[in-house]
């Protein structure tokens, strides 16, 4: 029996794909009278713990917002700190994540990042390509609007006639085409907004917002978010079938 046999209440109640806006690193550091970078570093540690905890609970894909298209607006020092943190994180954690059965995928516009960073991403993807326990999709230099635009451009580049450009054609060309749409969308840090994360893919995601700052987001918060998800009544625009409604009220 694997550890998750104890935890899974009912497979259908567990989201297949969880998307997370990992927000609040800067405030976490400020509470400790430390520079923002200290919070980002703690954020990486929290991510490595979270991916294992989600995997133990049966989640198949965890996508995390690590750097948004808009985060370039931050001071140069913070931007370059975040870039170098990726290199540090890869050298510190790649072997562990590979051993833990995590498949790493990077989503976002790679054209704007340094060669060194691109190589680190390629190494992380190549080293974990055969892993199947959980997929960790790291959104870096990613924006939901960028994703829609790049998918539309690819439709044109592929020579699709206008009438063949439909939801499926776009979905197949979105950055997360390899994953099902997120079932559960979590944002830490207290803000209640999407901030241009998975706009297209989150059409029917269930949202959980928590005040917990990302570096503090641990198993307790993960269980609370998954419990909230299990309580939701997902209808996808339909009405509940009567037998389900009856069973629910019994």
What is the distance of C-alpha 134 from the center of its chain? 12
| Per-residue contact string for residues 18-47; x = within reach of Mg ion by CB under 5 A | -----x------------------------
- Binding flag, residue 137, ligand IPE (CB under 6 A): no
User: What order do you get walking across the sheet with 206-209 strand by strand?
Assistant: 102-107, 134-142, 61-68, 17-21, 184-187, 206-209
Q: Which does 27 bind (CB under 5 to 8 A by kind): Mg ion, ligand IPE, none?
A: ligand IPE
- Binding flag, residue 77, ligand IPE (CB under 6 A): no
Q: Find the shortest distance in angstroms from Cβ 165 to ligand IPE.
A: 29
User: According to CB under 6 A, which one of 67, 121, 185, 229 is a site residue for ligand IPE?
Assistant: 67
Q: Which does 123 bind (CB under 5 to 8 A by kind): Mg ion, ligand IPE, none?
A: none
Q: How far is CA 108 from CA 46, 49, 169, 198, 218, in A?
A: 21, 23, 19, 11, 26
For the chain, the maximum distance between any two Cα atoms, rounded to a whole number of angstroms, is 60
Report whether 65 contacts 147 (CB < 8 A).
no
Q: Which residues bind ligand IPE (CB under 6 A)?
A: 21-27, 65-68, 71, 82, 189, 191, 193, 195
Q: Which residues bind Mg ion (CB under 5 A)?
A: 23
Catalytic amino acids? 23, 71
């Amino acid at each position: 029996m694997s550890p998750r046999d104890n935890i899974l209440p009912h497979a259908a109640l567990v989201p297949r794909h969880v998307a997370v806006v990992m927000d609040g690193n800067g405030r976490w550091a400020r509470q400790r009278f430390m520079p923002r970078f200290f919070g980002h570093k703690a954020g990486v540690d929290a991510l490595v713990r979270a991916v294992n905890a989600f995997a133990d609970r049966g989640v198949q894909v965890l996508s995390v917002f690590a750097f948004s298209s808009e985060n370039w607006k931050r001071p140069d020092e913070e931007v370059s700190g975040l870039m170098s943190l990726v290199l540090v994180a890869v050298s510190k954690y790649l072997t562990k994540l590979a051993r833990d059965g995590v498949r790493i995928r990077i989503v976002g516009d790679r054209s704007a990042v340094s060669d060194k960073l691109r190589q680190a991403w390629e190494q992380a993807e190549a080293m974990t390509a055969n892993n199947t326990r959980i997929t960790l999709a790291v959104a870096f230099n990613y924006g939901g609007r960028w994703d829609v635009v790049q998918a539309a451009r690819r439709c044109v580049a592929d020579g699709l006639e206008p009438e063949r450009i439909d939801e499926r054609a776009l979905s197949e060309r979105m950055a997360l085409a390899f994953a099902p749409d997120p079932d559960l969308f979590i944002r830490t840090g207290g803000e209640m907004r999407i901030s241009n994360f998975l706009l297209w893919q989150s059409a029917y995601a269930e949202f959980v917002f928590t005040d917990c700052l990302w570096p503090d987001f641990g198993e307790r918060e993960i269980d609370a978010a998954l419990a909230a998800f299990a309580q939701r009544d997902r209808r996808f625009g339909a009405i509940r079938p009567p037998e389900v409604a009856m069973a629910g009220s019994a």
